[in-house]
Amino acid sequence: MSQRRTNRSSQLSQNNSLVEGNIEDTVNDLVRYIIYKGGEHTVFSKSDLMKNVIHKTSRYEDIITRTNEILNSVYGYNMVICDTIKGKEKSYIITNTLSHIKNTNEEDIPDDVNRILILLILAHIFMSNNSVSDVSLYSFLNSLGIDVEVDHPIFGKVKDYITKILLKKQYLQSELDIKSRRQTFKWGARAEKEVSKMAVLEFVCQIYKDRLPKDWSNQYEISRNQSLPSQTENEIVETQILDD
């Protein structure tokens, strides 16, 4: 009887070791898949990960957690769940955790040539209580000499960049009114996780010159309460979007 228990215990231990080994292999495969697919500029859906790497398993969340640990410690990436919309599956973006280090040369706005454009767009949305219509956004840009209907000599096809690239990369999210066919733009999941709202507010103050962040009480409170992934309880570091 004792020998039978010993054999059963040994078998269970071997099975657990095999399962653990399979999980570690899957985690390593998933890390390679994410890096290969472009890292921080790709959105990954749960179905994509299940189909291409993870397959059938009851340890999905465990695999995702371990994958995120490796991405964070080795590559400086952070796997963040996008804001889920009712009826849609879970998806993730890969953000750069190193982009919040103060005075870094690595800006958290992608594509240097469009950095100012994205900042202007995010600032307009933020100062408009976090939601603007396409008419409002395009009129704002037009007031700055950026006509979204024609190729800009610096920014190129601005309308396509907004409605395709920025939406795809999750810097913006949009909703379409079926009746009016008008779009409404808000900050996307990546912008919320990577871009410091206080830095955006300070940028607006630089434009007005005689204004302070506290002059916009609502935006100031929102900025103070923002929590970026790389922030710790005792260290709040503001992302520097533009050089002083």
| Residue 227 pLDDT > 90 | no
Q: What confidence category does residue 158 fall into, taking pLDDT thresholds of 50, 70 and 90?
A: very high
Q: What confidence category does residue 223 fall into, taking pLDDT thresholds of 50, 70 and 90?
A: very high
What is the overall mean pLDDT for the chain?
76
How buried is 42 (Cβ within 10 angstroms: 0-12 exposed, 13-18 middle, 19+ buried)?
middle
pLDDT of residue 18: 38
| Residue 7 pLDDT > 70 | no
Distance between CA atoms of 121 and 111, rounded to whole angstroms? 15
Q: What confidence category does residue 229 fall into, taking pLDDT thresholds of 50, 70 and 90?
A: low
pLDDT of residue 185: 95
Average pLDDT on 210-228 reads: 87
Domains of the chain: 2-100 (1.10.10.1200), 112-225 (1.10.10.1210)
Concatenated DSSP letters of 8-54: HHHHHHHHHHHHHHHHHHHHHHHHHHHHHTTGGG-EEEHHHHIIIII
Beta pairing partners, 152: 156
* DSSP H or E run through 121: helix 115-127
pLDDT of residue 160: 93
Q: What confidence category does residue 181 fall into, taking pLDDT thresholds of 50, 70 and 90?
A: confident
| Residue 37 pLDDT > 70 | yes
pLDDT of residue 1: 54
Average pLDDT on 101-111 reads: 41
